[in-house]
Amino acid sequence: MKRAVGSRADADWCTTSYQYTNRLAHLHFLRTLNRIPAYLVFVYLVGDADMQGPKTAEEWAGALRLVHAQLGVDDARLARAFGGGVVEIFVDVADITAATV
């Protein structure tokens, strides 16, 4: 799997970010090995004070850069490996709250 996305052989895919890599592995299984037109959509919530998560998409982007660096991947490598099959969406919880009021 690391080879499929151009990751370094010594990158640790089994500890801190294992859920992220597990999702990439499933996409690889579906899209690459079985030719099923699957997509992986990461939905990141911003401004969620209850969970004390990132307040902005830029904060999420910084965290994702750290994850990608740890895993030895980047957006370009993921795009080459999956042909645009990895999508990131940032949703402000304020927009969700406004829509439900």
Task: Please determine, for residue 49, whether its predicted confidence score (pLDDT) is greater than 90.
Answer: no
> How do the domains of the chain map onto residue ranges?
2-100
pLDDT at 89: 95
Give mean pLDDT, residues 48-72: 90
Task: Please determine, for residue 75, whether its predicted confidence score (pLDDT) is greater than 90.
Answer: no
Q: Supply φ then ψ for residue 95, to 5 degrees.
A: -65, -35
pLDDT at 13: 92
pLDDT at 41: 97
Q: At what angle do helices 57-71 and 18-27 cross, to 10 degrees?
A: 80
